[in-house]
Structure 1
Amino acid sequence: MRDSSSGDVPGAGNALLRQAVGLAGEPLLEQVERVQCREGQVLHEPDDVMRHVYFPVDGLVSLLHVMESGNFAETALVGNDGVVGVALVMGGESMPLRAQVHVGGQLCRLRSDVLRQCLVEVPAMQQLFLRYAQTLLTQMGQVAACNRHHTLDQQFSRRLLMSLDRLPLQELRMTQESVAQMLGVRRESVTLAANKLHKAGVIRYSRGLIRVLDRDSLEGLTCECYAVMGRELQRLSRRPVDVRHEGSFVGLRTDGAVKARHAAADGDSEGFANAADGAHGRRRGGDRRHASDRRCRGIAISFPDRRLRTERRKSNPES
């Protein structure tokens, strides 16, 4: 999957990755690699441990519910606005969904352990990715409602608009069969919906290439689900990330020098300072000094068990 011929900056082209690099800096960008994926390629199966997260650039990835019969239906779409692998941000390592490339193209890949460490070292990254997780949950719920209550023509229009919003061009290369699989309907039904839009002059469809000619008309033909998802995405993406307690990402190094730099950057990071002091501080009586400081700041510390004192008095009445 590695695209060895690509020498450009791997962070470009994906809005979420661009924001993440802006918070974490160049060390995160150095861990990103650009890969090329083809249509139909599976990034991970349901319940697979995610070893990488993927940031689409000019491709689309579908998150699919797969049934025991082998049939599947799309529950969410990820493009250049987000990431495949948001479960890692919420404390999980897998999801009961298949991630499958729907429109082939370039994706930026990042190792899962790198992302986890970056989330710990740069607190603002948690906000950024959790906000995207909220938009993804909104999309999943709205798609489920749309598939239940709206016509296939509305669903098809909504799916086209969602795809266009997550691609750099206003055209799509996909087959009617692949769209039918994502929507969980018959191929003939998608053919009828596409022909209606083609005859109305809204789209031009030829040999798997869909070009939108009249976007305003296409938005008028879709249901309210498209607007609901769009408003939520804009609302959360426009809110500034709180960087008052910002840290810095230094890569996968965890030695004492790195922790000491974190402690110097943040005076409240007592845990990092203690780790950097190590055994030398304890031999110099560092633990006693830290305990004294904690008492002055009113932080609770442990005391000997009072039951031991009572038992000692009983065994030695003269004391």
Structure 2
Amino acid sequence: MAGNHLLGQIAALVGPPLIAQVERVECKAGQVLHEPDDVMSYVYFPIDCLVSLLHVMESGDFAETALVGNDGVVGVALVMGGESMPLRAHVHIGGSLCRLRSQVLRQCLADVPALQQVFLRYAQTLLTQMGQVAACNRHHSLDQQFSRRLLMSLDRLPREDLRMTHESVAQMLGVRRESVTLAANKLQKAGAIRYSRGLIQVLDRDGLEDLTCECYAVVGRELRRLSRQPVASGTVGAFVGSRTDATATATHAADDPEAEVFAHAADSARDRRRGSDRRQLPAERRREGIAISFPDRRLAPSRRKPNPQS
């Protein structure tokens, strides 16, 4: 499906049965796709809109924890075994998105096991983004946070202008609107952007990247790394499902040569566990002739010292 990179990968794996079930709809800025802890009936693939995932406080205040555009999906919790997330999915920039019924997605996951690998890789990029945004909000200046937010928005939209107000950006970052206006003035004076009411145009992307922090590069690098990895055909690697023992991993690697990398990864992880902390299983200790004893601290009657008070 043109327009959303993740949906394109999924359609290539599933084919016409999935494409026939996808519905394209329009959404407006400010629209809520789901509230915290809602059971999601649909998953959404943005095309030319931006969806903010928000943590909502009891007071009603909120802050953005991740941004989803044409790189991903809203509703990844369905693939990870949950029915909901404690987040609000809020449309920040309106536009088009594709939606798919949750039960259709579940059936596709059952029919095409490799599909789960695609979703889990995207979930990893989303977790990376969440962690990096939290660190950025704690350690970097508002100018850097604002620059990062603009660049991340551009990467997830098919255009170079951003229809957003200072008020909406301030709400996403959890700061005052006046602070965002000051940051925007600095970027405009530097020649990086031009803004008017409700519209921000990026004039010098390289200059904007120089003004942002390293968080933008970290998130982008992880997204590119995982999106370029080939998807193994057939059953997914050892990190999916309940069987992660060496026998299951070796069997899977023999059935699917492309998945041999997962077998090596499992072996490496097992070797690190054995080598880093020097712990070994009791059976291995017995084979090496190492005796382990736990002496009883209670002394036999013949070895007890007499009580001087008796």
Could you tell me the TM-score, scaled by structure 2's length? Answer: 0.75
Mapped pair 1:127 → 2:117: yes
**Alignment partner of 2:139 out of 149, 168, 173:** 149
Query: Is the contact between residue 65 and residue 130 of structure 2 (CA under 8 Å) also seen in structure 1?
Result: yes
Letter in 2 for 1:232: E
Q: Tell me, yes or no, if the aligned pair for 2:163 and 2:199 is still in contact at 8 Å.
A: yes
Partners of 1:33 and 1:244 in 2: how far apart? Answer: 27
Structure 2 unaligned runs (5+)? Answer: 237-254, 256-310
1:31 counterpart residue number: 21
Cα contact 2:112–2:234 (8 A) shared by 1: no
**What is the CA–CA distance in structure 2 between the aligned matches of 1:109 and 1:138, rounded to whole Å?**
24
Paired amino acid for 2:182? L
Secondary structure at 2:227 match in 1: helix
Which residue among 67, 75, 79 is the counterpart of 2:57?
A: 67
Report % sequence identity.
81
Contiguous gaps of at least 5 residues in structure 1: 1-10, 247-267, 269-319
Q: Are the aligned partners of 2:113 and 2:234 in contact in 1 as well (CA < 8 Å)?
A: no
d(CA) in 2 for partners of 1:183, 1:140: 13
Q: What is aligned with 2:86? A: 96
Where does residue 15 of structure 1 map in the other structure?
A: 5
> In the alignment, which residue of structure 2 is the partner of 1:196?
186
RMSD over aligned Cα, in angstroms? 1.1
1:220 has 2:203 as partner: no
The residue aligned with 1:179 is 169
Q: Distance in 1 between matches of 2:109 and 2:54?
A: 27
Q: Does 1:209 align with 2:199?
A: yes
Query: What residue number does 1:5 align with?
Result: none
The match for 2:72 among 64, 68, 82 is 82
Cα deviation code 1:119-167 (max 9, x no counterpart):
1110110000000000000000000000000000000000000000000
Q: Which amino acid aligns with 2:165?
A: T
Q: What residue identity is the alignment partner of 1:172?
A: L
TM-score (norm 1): 0.73
Trace 1:164-313 onto structure 2 (pairs within 5 A).
164-245=154-235
Contact 2:193/2:203, CA 8 A, preserved across alignment: yes
* Structure 1 counterpart of 2:127, one-letter code: L
Task: List per-residue Cα deviations over 1:225-251 (Å, max 9, x = no partner).
Answer: 0010011001100000001449xxxxx
Q: Name the residue aligned to 1:42.
A: 32
Post-superposition offset of 1:206: 1.0
- Structure 2 distance, partners of 1:70, 1:244, is 46
The CA distance in 1 between the partners of 2:61 and 2:126, in whole Å, is 22
Structure 1 runs of 4+ with >3 Å offset: none
Deviation of 1:22 (Å):
0.2
Q: What amino acid maps onto 2:87 in structure 1? A: L
